DNA sequence: ATTATACACTTATATATGGAAGCTGTCAAG
DNA sequence: CTTGACAGCTTCCATATATAAGTGTATAAT
């Protein structure tokens, strides 16, 4: 009767019991009731304290575990994890918001068939001289040019990919998951770079402004590259953020 | 008898049944058996096909769901998600590897007590002129300087934080989760920048080389900032990578 | 023709139960 | 003092069962 928890489970809530338990435990960790290194109450204790079944407690603890908030050691207990920089994950929400709600417009600067250079051929796993489609787009937010996009797509007359890719909505589809394309997976890398003269002019910025270069290669279900390209984002208009630990 | 799965559950394996099921389903998605937009077999069908209980199937499907590979719609079915750029998450593994296995050494360049400037005071939520500890470190990989670190820590005589922070192992602790510090959470942002003259000299690189600036603020359990600082990583030695979709 | 109901099928949640595996301390035998 | 067996705790895994809730279709009533 000593450890009566302050928060209780609301059986009439729409929020499932296991989710309530996750929320309660997260709140206690955030409030400092359980600190890094501390042991959480055992699952049996949690069952009794909150009046729920073992499987429900297990589910809640599992969620905390693969959220990286706690670590469970068999035979010893469940412990609150200390801060780890390496758990930080940066996502592309900032970039994605660009393509929401029609606040952005895509202007097609160029789209033509070219022959692959040595570099392009290597990236796309084709032969030098093979034909590719080169696309250049500029993404505006209102009147402001925000992102420049260059992309090489393998030229394949049997596929209607070219026409689809050239549509202004193609980019949006990539971000918000539109049509089920025949792309299986992709590799992304972020590099630090500076704007070239051409890029600075298009983005209405100064030459040599620090910028991000988000490179992407997409593969089809035969694991063959389909497209290679990159986004150029001026560094004074973009940043990536992450939060580690358990904020309020 | 039509849909006998090729892979089966190994009851004698150390790998739990639910994990085996996750691996099997991921493999089938990667192999193109189930393509974006397709409906997975219903949970009841999976139960029968693999001879496992509903709860086990549920657990496997749940894992796929919060891995973002599939999306489950109540009453309709579970569907394979198409590629989404926004699901890409970049982690700091590259940076973390720096601190593994003693391959890196930390050289303390400077550590002295200063008074907060306007900018520092704002970041640390203190008054201008309050005392802080300024730390400058250089992280080497072998003979090569890789990362420059600057940090302002609130000066608090009651806490032995200063001595702890000044140890060369302090950085490693932050990355690999050493001692359970009294830090509750932190904010991280990545900016694009270029090396200043001082930074270029220390990192043995050219001035104005593109670089990443990883800024961090850590808070204690009273939600008050404890330290503010940033890492400078030359762009030709660092990049962030991510993979989306289901590769082999 | 339109609307309402019923039914089949789906995922979502929660309970009760049993056992396996790992850690830790105690206690007795050597 | 050391070693080994054992009990009691922990998390981990899997099953069987029941209820709830969303979706779509077929059917019956209006």
Interface contact A140, partner B, CB < 8 A: no
pTM over 0.75: yes
Nucleotide nearest B40, from its CA to each C1': C10
Q: Count Cβ atoms within 10 A of the Cβ of residue A173 and give its class: 0-12 exposed, 13-18 middle, 19 or more buried.
A: buried
pLDDT value, residue A91: 84
Question: Given an 8 Å threshold on Cβ–Cβ distance, is B212 in contact with A193?
Answer: no
Q: Which of B203, B214, B212 is nearest to B139 (CA)?
A: B203
Give the 3-state secondary structure of residue A233. Answer: strand
Looking up tokens 């670190």 gives B149
- How many angstroms separate the CA of A230 from the C1' of C16? 55
- Would you state the structure tokens that stand for residue A219, as one six-digit string? 């593969």
pLDDT given at position A5: 53
**Which pLDDT belongs to residue B82?**
87
Under-70 pLDDT residues of chain A:
1-6, 96, 98-102, 158-181
> Which residue in A148, A150, A136, A135 sits closest to A204, CA to CA?
A148
Across the interface, of A175, A223, A247, the residue whose CB is closest to B185 is: A247
User: Residue B179: pLDDT band by 50, 70, 90 thresholds?
Assistant: very low
Mind listing the pLDDT tens digit for each residue in A141-162?
A: 888 899 999 999 888 776 655 4
What share of residues in chain A are helix, strand, coil (percent, to 5)? 30, 35, 35
CB B20 within 8 A of CB B9: yes
Looking at A48-52, B139-143, B227-231, which range is the least confident one? B139-143
Give the chain A residue whose CA is nearest to the CA of B58.
A59
Interface residue A30 vs chain B (CB under 8 A) = yes
More confident position, B181 or A90: A90
Mutate to test the interface with A, among B83, B214, B230 (most CBs of A within 10 A): B83
Does A46 or B101 have the greater pLDDT score? A46
pLDDT in tens, B104-138: 778 888 888 899 999 999 999 999 999 998 989 89
What pLDDT, in 10s, does the model give residues A170-208? 554 555 444 445 788 999 999 999 999 999 999 999 999
B73 sits within 7 Å of strand D by its CB: yes
Measured between alpha carbons, how far is A103 from A92 in angstroms, rounded to an integer? 17
Nearest-angstrom CA–CA distance, B43 and B77 = 9
Choose among B184, B242, B245: nearest Cβ to A245.
Answer: B184
User: Which residues fall inside 7 Å of strand C, measured at CB?
Assistant: A 16-19, 51-56, 73-76; B 40, 42-45, 54-55, 58, 61-62, 65, 72-78
Q: Which nucleotide is nearest to A73 (CA to C1')?
A: D11
d(CA A244, CA A64): 14
Closest to B171 measured CA to CA, from A82, A85, A247, A35:
A85
- Please write down the HEC assignment for all residues of B82-96: CCCHHHCEEECHHHH
Measured CA to CA, the distance from residue B160 to residue B194 in angstroms comes to: 35
Cβ distance of A84 and B242 shorter than 8 Å: no
Contacts of A84 in chain B (CB under 8 A): 174-177
* pLDDT tens by residue, B45-63: 999 999 999 999 999 999 9
Q: What is the pLDDT of residue A153?
A: 86
Whole-angstrom distance, CA of residue B136 vs CA of residue B149? 6
Rounded average pLDDT over B181-188: 84
Q: Among partner residues A66, A190, A235, which is closest to B90 by beta-carbon distance?
A: A190
Instruction: Inspect the interface and report whether the beta carbons of A91 and B90 lie closer than 8 Å.
Output: yes
pLDDT at A163: 47
Report the C-alpha dihedral over residues A65, B81, B50, A19, rounded to 10 degrees.
30
CB contact under 8 A, B188 and A242: yes
CA distances from B118 to A203, B115, B121, B130, B219 (A): 32, 10, 5, 10, 19
pLDDT for A226 equals 86
What residues of chain B, 68 to 127, have a C-beta less than 8 Å from chain A?
Answer: 81-93, 95-96
Nucleotides of D under 7 A from a protein CB: 8-18, 21-24
Say if the Cβ atoms of A243 and B185 lie within 8 Å: yes
Asked if the Cβ–Cβ distance from A85 to B216 is below 8 Å, we say yes
A16 and chain B: CB distance < 8 Å anywhere? no
Please report, to the nearest 10 degrees, the dihedral formed by the alpha carbons of residues B23, B95, A225, A136 taken in order: 140
Q: Count how many pairs of residues, chain A against chain B, have C-beta atoms within 8 Å.
A: 202
- Local confidence band at B163 (pLDDT 50, 70, 90 cut-offs): very low
Q: What per-residue confidence (pLDDT) applies to B87?
A: 82
Q: What was the pLDDT predicted at B101?
A: 58
Is residue A193 within 8 A of residue A212, CB to CB? The reply is yes
Asked whether the beta carbons of A183 and A219 are under 8 A apart, the reply is yes
| Helix B54-66 × helix B43-50 angle, to 10° | 120
Per DSSP, the three-state class of A9 is coil
């Amino acid at each position: 009767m000593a450890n009566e928890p302050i928060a209780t489970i609301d059986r009439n809530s729409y929020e499932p019991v296991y989710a309530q338990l996750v929320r309660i435990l997260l709140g206690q960790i955030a409030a400092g009731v359980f600190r890094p290194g501390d042991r959480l109450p055992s699952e049996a204790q949690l069952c009794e304290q909150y009046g729920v079944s073992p499987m429900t407690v297990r589910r809640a603890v599992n969620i905390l575990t693969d959220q990286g908030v706690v670590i469970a050691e068999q035979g010893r207990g469940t412990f609150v994890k200390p801060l780890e920089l390496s758990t930080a994950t940066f996502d592309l929400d900032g970039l994605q918001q660009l393509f929401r709600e029609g606040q952005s417009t895509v202007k097609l600067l160029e789209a033509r068939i070219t022959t692959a250079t040595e570099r392009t051929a290597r990236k796309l796993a084709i032969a030098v001289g093979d034909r590719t489609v080169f696309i250049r787009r500029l993404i505006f937010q209102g009147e402001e040019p925000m992102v420049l996009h260059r992309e090489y797509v393998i030229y394949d007359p049997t596929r209607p990919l070219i026409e689809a890719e050239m549509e202004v909505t193609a980019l949006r589809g990539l971000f918000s998951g539109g049509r089920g394309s025949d792309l299986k997976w992709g590799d992304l890398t972020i590099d630090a770079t500076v704007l070239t003269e051409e890029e600075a002019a298009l983005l209405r910025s100064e030459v040599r402004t620090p910028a991000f270069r988000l490179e992407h290669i997409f593969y089809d279900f035969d694991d063959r590259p389909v497209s290679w390209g990159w986004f150029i984002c001026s560094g004074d208009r973009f940043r990536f953020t992450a939060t580690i630990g358990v904020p309020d």
